[in-house]
Amino acid sequence: MADQTDPLVELEGHPEAKRIRSRRVNEGVATLIVDATGLRDAERSQLERELHEAASSIEGISEVRIAMTAAQPHRTLIAVGSGKGGVGKSTVAANLAIALSRAGRKVGLVDADVYGPSQPTLLGSDAKPTAENDRLIPVEAQGLRFLSLGHLVSPGHALAWRGPMATGALARLVDADWGDADMLVVDLPPGTGDVQLSLIQKSRPDGAVIVSTPQDLSLIDATRAIDLFRKMDVPVLGIIENMAGYICPHCGEGSDPFGSGGAEAAASEIGVPFLGRLPLSPAIRTASDAGNPPAAGEGSEAKAFADLAQRVVDALETVRR
């Protein structure tokens, strides 16, 4: 039972009273230590104002001092890359992030693709981020938080940025106010350029996922991307073979316009895990273009991404052992 001689006992009625770790009054000066873990900057400021106002209104309190503390959560960072463009990397990144969120993780998605920031389209959100204390506050869509380089320019305008501009923008996205997100999925541009190097050097991903189609040209470039991460001591969680197999919606016959099994064979040869295949599916394309990621729904496409998310989590656990 609370000490009824404590004038700050009235604060126990506040909805966030459980965050008050310590409280005391000395000669009219109230001192509160408050746990702000998991709160965004704006939420933290609001809680501090509310408690200050509530304590100041208590009879006998002449001054209120509040110390806000917060444990910094470890945030797993997964880089999603590819050796070349056009392999469906951004679509995979968006749906992987959503599948991880649906599996119970608190996920943020960073769209760092300088050449084609497409996550606002894929996630069906044209909302713009705000800022608090010079930190961006991510947009929320499809059960996750996200920021895109596309948020920093007008629609339809090219990102004609040199390396330092692009890497500076990336740092601003990664260092945004992600609140209690415990995982960041970073959709990288294709290739092995400045953005990749900057992310590795400054943020040190916990693992990298490489997206490739089955054809030889894509796999050659994917191998280069894997080599970069390995040289920089970033664990490669595995290769995803995208656009693998196609079922004709008219005749029901299957075909392999980009070949089959190439990524799995390459993974075995290189010595990295094979994370699975995703089909060349008109349903995935049309849903993505409409801002309705398949991973957010039901059916075979959603299950494919859910299975992929589980394999990525399993691969993370393996490299941490």
Is the pLDDT reported for residue 180 higher than 90? no
Higher pLDDT, 106 or 116: 106
Do 108 and 248 fall into the same domain? yes
Which range has the worst mean pLDDT, 2-11, 54-63, 64-73, 177-186? 2-11
Q: Average pLDDT of the chain? A: 86
Residue 233's pLDDT band (boundaries 50, 70, 90)? very high
Which range has the worst mean pLDDT, 112-116, 118-122, 267-271? 112-116
pLDDT over 70 percentage in the chain? 88
Do 215 and 311 fall into the same domain? yes
Is the pLDDT reported for residue 248 higher than 80? no
Question: CA-to-CA distance for 40 and 299, rounded, in angstroms?
Answer: 35
- CATH code of 20's domain: 3.30.300.130
Nearest one of 83, 126, 320, 32 to 225, comparing CA atoms: 83
Complete DSSP assignment for 259-276: -SSHHHHHHHHHT--EEE
Do 166 and 181 fall into the same domain? yes
Q: How much is the average pLDDT of 72-92?
A: 87
pLDDT at residue number 37:
79
Q: Work out the burial of residue 252: count CB atoms within 10 Å of its CB; fewer than 13 is exposed, 13-18 middle, 19 or more buried.
A: exposed
Query: Is the residue at 185 inside a domain?
Result: yes
pLDDT at residue number 246:
64
**Helix (H) and strand (E) counts for the chain?**
9, 15
pLDDT at residue number 126:
84
Is the pLDDT reported for residue 115 higher than 50? yes
pLDDT at residue number 256:
62
Which range has the worst mean pLDDT, 13-27, 232-246, 248-262? 248-262
What domain range includes position 163?
76-320
pLDDT at residue number 3:
47
Do 205 and 278 fall into the same domain? yes
* Residue 138 near residue 173 (C-beta atoms within 8 A): no
Do 168 and 50 fall into the same domain? no
- CATH code of 195's domain: 3.40.50.300
Is the pLDDT reported for residue 200 higher than 70? yes
Q: How much is the average pLDDT of 296-301?
A: 88
Do 114 and 47 fall into the same domain? no
Interhelix angle 300-320/282-289, rounded to 10 degrees, is 90
Do 55 and 182 fall into the same domain? no
Residue 209's pLDDT band (boundaries 50, 70, 90)? very high
pTM comes to 0.76
Q: How many domains does the chain have?
A: 2
Residue 71's pLDDT band (boundaries 50, 70, 90)? low
Do 63 and 92 fall into the same domain? no
Higher pLDDT, 233 or 74: 233
60: DSSP letter: T
